[in-house]
């Protein structure tokens, strides 16, 4: 099923991307739109001002069935999930025994099964991790990534607009909840969540109805100034960065634990899970580094791997993501530094390709709606 050649995987929306002038790039083995004709900054601004639709079908969708599905997930997720009622979703991490982050995921409870949405780049690793631990639990893992499609509709106008378009109004769905909606022969699972810092939904549907679903969603017409317009992965990245959200491979890796990443809130203290003992030990000592936000002077972007120094020029950490924030019109970045430097207002230096550039520690998120 997994293509091992150079051929990139394509989502159901390849035609849609082409029609909208997308620049396609390789992302985790998928051919995905980086941006459309409007460009990253315009797509970003449109999402903050009105609403955008993102193809996120590359993300892994894993169905967990069987009597032991819940116990398997409770055994692996850092977040407590046993109390989830059907229709509830939650952000969680999967960690290895050392407490390193394997992936960050959304776990959802359906009537008869559970669903994990994971990062595209980690899908195979997560499947393997689940299977490796499934044996004692009577749980089966089905990869639904290739039989389904997923889009995200985000922005201040999204919910009001979708109330008039979807079979059931999404305004009735609480944040981090979802609803299965049926329209003719098609079934849509509508999640009130997203990765932009805006209100909105993420919708999963069968591959066979995906094209129809997008035409249906986009019927307001791209030509209206506040209409639903496509946005690519470039805008998705700048939006999540402004919202202070971590991205796997940048703020999260197997050598970073959830406490250093500032994700304590997603880690239960009253249950066992794989990695919990290591994380308890990590909680008791002063961390070597902590995630932080920086506002950098000037216009040059500090990208992943850029060294952070204290005002005396001593290296104290590294940038993990950086961009010119379209909303704030400032260069922003996330990274990790030694804990004594994370206080908001601390002055540091960022070595942008040989030039020590002044920066200031600021609170995350950079942008709040």
Partner 1 sequence: MPSPSDRRYTESHEWIKTDGDQLIVGVTQFAVNALSDVTYAALPAVGKTFGAGDVFGEVESVKATSELYLPVAGTITAVNTAVANDPALLNTDPYEAGWLVKIKPAAADLSGLMDAAEYDAKHPV
Q: Residue 234, interface with partner 1 (CB under 8 A)?
A: yes
Q: Residue 330, interface with partner 1 (CB under 8 A)?
A: no
CA angle 162, 59, 290 (to 5 degrees): 100
DSSP 73: H
Q: Residue 323, interface with partner 1 (CB under 8 A)?
A: yes
Q: Residue 230, interface with partner 1 (CB under 8 A)?
A: no
Segment 72-131, which members bind partner 1 (CB under 8 A)? none
Interface pick for partner 1 out of 34, 50, 203, 333 (rule CB under 8 A): 34
Q: Which is nearer to partner 1, 81 or 294 (CB)?
A: 294
Q: Residue 303, interface with partner 1 (CB under 8 A)?
A: yes
Cβ neighbours of residue 15 under 8 Å, at least 6 residues apart? 211
Taking the complex as a whole, the smallest distance from the CB of residue 333 to partner 1 amounts, in Å, to 13
User: Of 121, 171, 114, 170, which is closest to residue 144 (Cα–Cα)?
Assistant: 114
Q: Which is nearer to partner 1, 210 or 350 (CB)?
A: 350
Taking the complex as a whole, the smallest distance from the CB of residue 232 to partner 1 amounts, in Å, to 9
Q: Residue 41, interface with partner 1 (CB under 8 A)?
A: yes
Window of 3-11, 78-86, 175-183, 321-329 that interacts with partner 1 by CB under 8 A: 321-329
Sheet of 88-95: strand order equals 88-95, 101-109, 114-118, 60-65, 140-143
Could you tell me if 259 and 267 are in contact, meaning their C-beta atoms sit under 8 angstroms apart? yes
Sheet of 30-35: strand order equals 9-10, 30-35, 23-27
Taking the complex as a whole, the smallest distance from the CB of residue 6 to partner 1 amounts, in Å, to 20
> Residue 170: how many CA atoms within 13 Å on its side-chain side?
29
Window of 46-54, 127-135, 190-198, 300-308 that interacts with partner 1 by CB under 8 A: 300-308
User: Of 288, 275, 278, which is closest to residue 336 (Cα–Cα)?
Assistant: 288
Which residues of this chain interact with partner 1, rule CB under 8 A? Answer: 23, 34-35, 39-42, 234, 238, 299-301, 303, 323-324, 326, 353
């Amino acid at each position: 099923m997994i293509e091992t050649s150079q051929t990139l995987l394509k989502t159901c929306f390849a035609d849609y991307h082409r029609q909208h002038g997308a620049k396609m790039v390789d992302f985790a083995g998928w051919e995905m739109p980086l941006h459309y004709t409007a460009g990253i900054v315009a797509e970003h601004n449109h999402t903050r001002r009105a609403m955008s639709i993102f193809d996120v079908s590359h993300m892994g969708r894993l169905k967990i069935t069987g009597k032991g599905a819940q116990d398997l997930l409770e055994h692996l997720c850092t977040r407590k999930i046993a109390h989830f009622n059907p229709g509830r979703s939650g952000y969680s991490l999967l960690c290895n025994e050392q407490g390193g982050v394997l992936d960050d995921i959304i776990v959802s409870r359906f009537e008869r099964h559970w669903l994990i949405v994971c990062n595209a780049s980690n899908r195979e690793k997560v499947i393997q991790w689940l299977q490796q631990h499934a044996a004692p639990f009577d749980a089966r893992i089905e990869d639904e990534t290739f039989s389904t499609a997923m889009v995200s509709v985000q922005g201040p106008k999204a919910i009001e607009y979708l109330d008039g378009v979807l079979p059931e109004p999404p305004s009735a769905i609480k944040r981090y909840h979802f609803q299965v909606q049926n329209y003719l022969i098609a079934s849509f699972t509508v999640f009130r969540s997203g990765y932009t810092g805006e209100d909105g939904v993420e919708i999963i549907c069968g591959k066979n109805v995906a094209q129809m679903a997008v035409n249906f969603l986009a019927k307001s017409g791209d030509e209206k100034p506040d209409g639903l317009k496509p946005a690519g992965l470039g805008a998705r990245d700048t939006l999540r960065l402004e919202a202070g959200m971590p991205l796997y491979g940048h703020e999260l890796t197997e050598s970073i634990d959830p406490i250093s990443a500032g994700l304590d809130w997603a880690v239960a203290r009253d249950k066992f899970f794989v990695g919990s003992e290591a994380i308890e030990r990590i909680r008791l000592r002063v961390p070597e580094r902590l995630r932080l936000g920086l506002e950098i002077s000037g216009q040059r972007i500090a990208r992943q791997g850029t060294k952070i120094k204290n005002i005396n020029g001593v290296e104290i950490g590294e940038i993990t993501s950086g961009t010119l924030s379209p909303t704030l019109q400032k260069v922003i970045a996330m990274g990790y530094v030694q804990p004594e430097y994370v206080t908001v207002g601390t002055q540091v230096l960022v070595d942008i390709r040989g030039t020590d550039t002044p920066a200031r520690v600021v609170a995350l998120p950079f942008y709040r709606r």
